[in-house]
């Protein structure tokens, strides 16, 4: 019973970062209409920003979150203006090849700059845990989870309650109408892509503490984020959080209860995509 | 109010709009009719900014808007409703309308926008459905929403693209009455329509297109009697 409870808690705690990365991807796919395979590389950049700031100035990663978010918003905006906007009207295959190429390019630039080693941000509370009735909570995952909840709350508050959020939702739900209702769609795309990268970057900062920074750290998160947004329904921002929880719980259960579970964890996202797509097409038929 | 001169749009070898010129006077209801493929929808897309013309000039309220993006035209008072309705399916009817009211004119205060929505939702009979998600409306309600949302942008000229298509005769009658009410509230209307009874009932003036050209214009009865128009619809008598 205790094992099950601990497993579920681990799952829930992991879901925060998943939801951050996946909400970002959902903005890129749902609002801008771009299947961004380089999304995890924004996470990677976030992780390296946290690492460099920590090594260079000793700044605690959880304090560098805001700066990383700003930098990544800029990176996302520049990526949108320079690479994405010119291919918005291009066939989807071209768009995917472009973002896939961007992913490979960013990974290799990071490889040139930092080498292939994994770099851990070793804070003083790195291995700290809180114990509560036989259950233990790692401090970094707990902090990351708490911040994720706050950030996601702010994101959904923005989407639900503000004038600009209404425009973002409008663009996500219909391509043709927003411009004719007076919305400057190009600005909404720019904002959404910048936010998308910022969310990925913030998750990267958290990963630098809980996992490590490395040139390929983001790729697994691209795949997991895809599994989550496929489960939520492409373009459905609201479904991202529950879908992230489901994926994280499934991974935690597999890791605990399947013999050799640790090795199978990275296959769970694939199973989730498979089941979600099959179920959808079966229901549609 | 609207002045179109020599508008041309080609898609590959097809000339969808060929030297189209027309004028819309303030307060009138103008119908654009023509057989399938005559270029009516292309004309509407050129007017609302979804397409850019290869040649020609569009002036609205004395200002050139030939190459202005759609949102700028909307701000100036050009509204558009689609034949195939384009709702935001996961938003409520109220929110759908609020998008139009908030963004139809730049920096509209929320209070003003909500007042506009409240007026339009009454005018279009959608008030009982205010909190219903747009994805759950019937076709008739969808069409009303499409019209209502365009109205929320507070247009001076409203472009309607076959908004009666698919409606039952009784529903079409209701819609005709609604378009009249809209005009009476001070909005000029340009509409595309296939249903001739609707055209006859609504239009002050009719423009007929065929193969991308304007082939006739005038009052309904004169246009309907025009041999060129009969030929376009029925083919040449042998």
Cβ-based contacts of A174 with chain B (< 8 Å): 86-89
Confidence of residue A171 (pLDDT cuts 50, 70, 90): very high
Cβ-based contacts of A236 with chain B (< 8 Å): 90
Confidence of residue A108 (pLDDT cuts 50, 70, 90): very high
pLDDT at residue B195 in the model: 84
A 10 A CB-CB count for B214 gives: 22
B100 touches chain A (CB under 8 A): yes
Strands B55-60 and B63-64, by their bridges, are: antiparallel
Return the HEC string of B47-85.
HHCCCCCCEEEEEECCEECCCCCHHHHHHHCEEEECCCC
Q: Which of residues 175-214 of B touch A (CB under 8 A)?
A: none
Of B59 and A117, the structure prediction assigns the larger pLDDT to B59
- Residue A167's SS3 state is helix
Residue with the two structure tokens 């114990």: A131
CATH assignment of the domain containing A113: 1.10.3470
Mean pLDDT for the stretch of residues A68-96: 95
pLDDT at residue B173 in the model: 85
Which helix (H) or strand (E) segment holds residue B22: the answer is strand B14-24
A 10 A CB-CB count for B173 gives: 15
Of A52 and B13, the structure prediction assigns the larger pLDDT to A52
Distance to chain B for A156, nearest Cα, Å: 15
pLDDT at residue B237 in the model: 56
Please give the structure tokens belonging to residue B197: 């009874």
pLDDT at residue B236 in the model: 63
Q: Measure Cα distances from A128 to A20, A31, A209, A211, B190 in Å.
A: 24, 40, 12, 14, 70
Whether the pLDDT of residue A118 is over 60: the answer is yes
pLDDT at residue A76 in the model: 97
Mean pLDDT for the stretch of residues B16-35: 92
Cβ-based contacts of B103 with chain A (< 8 Å): 167, 178, 181-183
Whether the pLDDT of residue B111 is over 90: the answer is yes
Distance to chain A for B126, nearest Cα, Å: 19
Please give the structure tokens belonging to residue A123: 């804070």
Distance to chain B for A189, nearest Cα, Å: 15
Q: What's the complex ipTM?
A: 0.88
A 10 A CB-CB count for A231 gives: 24
Distance to chain B for A178, nearest Cα, Å: 8
To the nearest 10 degrees (0 to 180), the angle between helices A139-161 and A61-79 is 40
B4 touches chain A (CB under 8 A): no
Whether the pLDDT of residue B207 is over 90: the answer is yes
Of B139 and B205, the structure prediction assigns the larger pLDDT to B205
Domain of residue A226, residue span? 2-284
| Nearest residue in B to A187, CA atom | B71
Please give the structure tokens belonging to residue A103: 């992913």
CATH of B1-77+155-238, one of 3.40.50.300, 1.10.3720.10, 3.30.70.1050, 3.50.20.10: 3.40.50.300
Which candidate from B50, B90, B149 shows the least CB-CB separation from A181?
A: B149
Average pLDDT, chain A: 91
pLDDT at residue B30 in the model: 95
Distance to chain A for B86, nearest Cα, Å: 6
pLDDT at residue B197 in the model: 86
Mean pLDDT for the stretch of residues B196-204: 89
Q: What is the pLDDT of residues B209-233, one digit of tens each?
A: 998 889 989 998 888 888 888 888 8
Would residue A201 be called left, alpha or beta, if left means φ above 0 and alpha means ψ between -120 and 50 degrees?
alpha
Percentage of chain A surpassing pLDDT 90? 69
Residue A154: burial class (beta carbons within 10 Å; 0-12, 13-18, 19+): exposed
Which residues of A lie closer than 8 Å to B, measured between beta carbons?
163, 166-167, 169-170, 173-174, 176-185, 236, 238
For residues A268 and A247, the answer to whether their CB atoms sit within 8 Å is yes
Q: What is the pLDDT of residues A188-214, one digit of tens each?
A: 999 999 999 999 999 999 999 888 889
Q: Work out the angle at residue A20's Cα, subtended by the Cα atoms of residues A15 and A25, and round it to the nearest 5 degrees.
A: 120
Q: What is the pLDDT of residues A71-81, one digit of tens each?
A: 999 999 999 99
Do residue B87 and residue A185 have CB atoms under 8 angstroms apart? Answer: no
Whether the pLDDT of residue B238 is over 60: the answer is no
Q: What is the pLDDT of residues A46-64, one digit of tens each?
A: 999 999 999 999 899 888 9
Whether the pLDDT of residue A185 is over 90: the answer is yes
Mean pLDDT for the stretch of residues A68-89: 96
Closest among A270, A277, A243, A246 to A22, alpha carbons compared: A243
Q: Which of A118-122, A172-176, B109-113 has the lowest mean pLDDT?
A: A118-122
pLDDT at residue A2 in the model: 83
Would residue B187 be called left, alpha or beta, if left means φ above 0 and alpha means ψ between -120 and 50 degrees?
beta
What sign has the CA pseudo-torsion A170, A176, A182, A185?
Answer: positive
Distance CA B57, CA B178 (A): 31
Confidence of residue B134 (pLDDT cuts 50, 70, 90): very high
Q: How many domains does chain A have?
A: 1
pLDDT at residue B37 in the model: 83
Distance to chain A for B105, nearest Cα, Å: 7
Q: Which of A31-35, A195-199, A254-258, B230-234 has the lowest mean pLDDT?
A: B230-234
pLDDT at residue B229 in the model: 85
Cβ-based contacts of A164 with chain B (< 8 Å): none
pLDDT at residue A266 in the model: 83
Do residue A182 and residue B49 have CB atoms under 8 angstroms apart? Answer: no
Q: What is the pLDDT of residues B36-83, one digit of tens each?
A: 888 898 999 999 999 999 999 999 999 999 999 999 999 999 999 988
Distance CA A35, CA A38 (A): 9
| Nearest residue in B to A161, CA atom | B95
Q: What is the pLDDT of residues B145-174, one digit of tens each?
A: 999 999 999 999 999 988 888 888 888 888
Beta bridge partners of B209: B214
Which candidate from A170, A182, A185 shows the least CB-CB separation from B105?
A: A182
Following DSSP, what letter does each residue of A54-123 receive, concatenated? HHHH---HHHHHHHHHHHHHHHHHHHIIIIIGGGTTS-HHHHHHHHHHHHHHHHHHHHHHH-S--B----
């Amino acid at each position: 019973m205790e094992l099950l409870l601990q497993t579920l808690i681990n799952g829930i705690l992991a879901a925060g970062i998943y939801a951050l990365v996946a909400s970002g991807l959902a903005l890129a796919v749902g609002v801008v209409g771009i299947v961004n395979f380089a999304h995890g590389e924004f996470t990677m950049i976030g992780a390296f920003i946290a690492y460099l700031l920590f090594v260079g100035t000793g700044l605690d990663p959880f304090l560098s979150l805001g700066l990383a978010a700003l930098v990544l918003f800029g990176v996302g905006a520049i990526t949108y203006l320079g690479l994405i906007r010119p291919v918005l009207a291009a066939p989807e295959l071209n768009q995917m090849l472009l973002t896939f190429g961007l992913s490979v390019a960013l990974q290799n630039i990071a490889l040139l700059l930092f080498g292939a080693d994994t770099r851990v941000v070793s804070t003083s509370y790195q291995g700290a845990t809180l114990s509560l009735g036989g259950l233990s909570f790692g401090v970094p995952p707990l902090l990351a989870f708490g911040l994720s909840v706050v950030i996601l709350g702010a994101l959904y508050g923005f989407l639900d309650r503000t004038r600009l959020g209404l425009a973002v939702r409008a663009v996500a739900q219909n391509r043709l109408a927003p411009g004719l209702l007076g919305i400057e769609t190009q600005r909404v795309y720019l904002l959404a892509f910048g936010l998308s990268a910022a969310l990925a970057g913030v998750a990267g900062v958290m990963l630098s503490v809980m996992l490590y920074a490395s040139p390929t750290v983001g790729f697994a998160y691209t795949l997991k984020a895809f599994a989550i947004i496929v489960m939520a329904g492409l373009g459905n921002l609201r479904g991202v959080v529950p879908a992230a929880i489901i994926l994280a719980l499934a991974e935690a259960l597999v890791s605990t209860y399947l013999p050799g579970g640790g090795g199978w964890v990275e296959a769970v996202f694939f199973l989730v995509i498979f089941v979600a797509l099959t179920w959808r097409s079966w229901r549609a038929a | 109010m609207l002045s179109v001169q020599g508008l041309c749009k080609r898609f590959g070898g097809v000339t969808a709009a060929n030297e189209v010129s027309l004028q819309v006077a303030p307060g009138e209801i103008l119908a654009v009719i023509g057989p399938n493929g005559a270029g009516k929808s292309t004309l509407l897309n050129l007017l609302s900014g979804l397409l850019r013309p290869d040649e020609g000039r569009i002036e609205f309220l004395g200002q050139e808007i030939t190459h202005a993006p759609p949102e700028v035209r909307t701000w100036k008072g050009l509204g558009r409703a689609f034949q195939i309705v384009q709702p935001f399916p996961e938003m409520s009817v109220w929110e759908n309308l609020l998008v139009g009211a908030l963004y139809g004119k730049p920096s509209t205060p929320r209070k003003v926008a909500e007042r506009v929505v409240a007026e339009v939702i009454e005018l279009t009979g959608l008030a009982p459905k205010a909190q219903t998600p747009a994805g759950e409306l019937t076709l008739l309600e969808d069409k009303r929403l499409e019209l209502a949302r365009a109205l929320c942008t507070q247009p001076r000229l409203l472009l309607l693209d076959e908004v009666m298509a698919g409606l039952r005769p009784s529903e079409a009658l209701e819609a005709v009455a609604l378009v009249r009410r809209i005009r009476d509230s001070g909005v000029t209307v340009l509409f595309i329509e296939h249903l001739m009874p609707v055209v006859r009932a609504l239009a002050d003036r009719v423009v007929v297109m065929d193969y991308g050209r304007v082939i006739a214009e005038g009052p309904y009865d004169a246009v309907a009697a025009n041999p060129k128009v009969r030929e376009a619809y029925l083919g040449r008598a042998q």
